Amino acid sequence: MGLKNMMKAANKGIRELDAERLVDKFIDLNLTPLGEVVVRTKVKVCGEVKRMTMKPRSGIPSMEIVINDGTGQVTVIFSGRRHIAGIEHGGCIAVEGVAYQERNNTVFLNPVYTLLPHGAE
């Protein structure tokens, strides 16, 4: 049995490993998992910053990031600014707001955010 599980663990992809790590990290916050976000309702979610996009200079300045908590990922857009101090790759934030669907992505536009400097603590 033990061996079988070990084999299973060894065969896990990097994606699954990372997802498990993130689920463990955020489980104590008791927020809505990103995989269960319902659009057009107010939710509070959190996740680790996985992608940051620098938008072209032309057009409206905005900051676009993707956060992931192991159950899913959402795009968070803060318009009107190019960067928010404290939001960096690998950092964690909690956001509270109403999400909408754009193509395959769930997007939060200008939500209330909280930096979680040390993950769940």
Partner 1 sequence: MAGFISLMATSTKSSAIKRFLIGKPIPTSEDAHQRLSKKVALPVFASDAISSTAYATEEILIVFLSLGAVGMAAYSMLVPISLIVIALLTIVVISYRQTIFAYPNGGGSYIVSKENLGEYPGLVAGASLLIDYVLTVCVSVAGGVAAIISAFNGLAPHRVQICIGFVLLMMVANLRGLKESGALFAPPTYLYVLSLIALIVVGLYRVFVQHLPPIEHSGEAQHLLEMQGSVTAFYFLKAFSSGAVALTGVEAVSNGVPAFKKPESRNASTTLIWMAVILGSCFFGLSILAQHLQPVKDHEGKIPNTVLAQLAEQVYGGRNIFFYVTQFATFAILILAANTSYADFPRLSSLIAKDNYLPRQFSNRGDRLVFSNGVIFLSFASIGLLVAFKGQISALIPLYAVGVFTGFTLSQAGMVVHHYKHREAKWKVHMAINAVGSVTTFFVAGIFVVVKFTDGAWIPAILIPIMMIGFKGINRHYTRVRSFLLPSDDYVAPFHTHFVIVLVGSVNQGTMQAVRYAQSLRPDRLIAISVIEHAEDRQKIDEAWIKYNLSDVELQTITSEYRDLTEPILIRINELDAEYDDDLITVIIPEFVTSVRSQWLHNQSALAIKARLLFRPNTVVTSVPIVIP
Which listed range, 2-10, 28-36, 43-51, 110-118, lies at the site for partner 1 (CB under 8 A)? 43-51
Radius of gyration of the chain (CA): 16
- How many other C-beta atoms can be found within 10 angstroms of the C-beta atom of residue 36? 10
| Residue with smaller CB distance to partner 1, 18 or 96 | 18
- Reference 76, options 103, 59, 97; nearest CA is 97
Binding-site string for partner 1 from residue 98 to residue 117, where x marks contact by CB under 8 A and - marks none: -----xx-------------
Report, in Å, the least distance between residue 119 CB and partner 1: 13
Q: Which stretch binds partner 1 (CB under 8 A): 7-15, 28-36, 37-45, 112-120?
A: 7-15
Q: How far is the CB of 10 from partner 1 (least distance, A)?
A: 14
Based on the shown chain and the rule CB under 8 A, indicate whether residue 17 belongs to the binding site for partner 1: yes
Classify 119 in phi/psi space as left (phi over 0), alpha (psi -120 to 50) or beta.
left
Pairing of strands 73-79, 42-54: unpaired
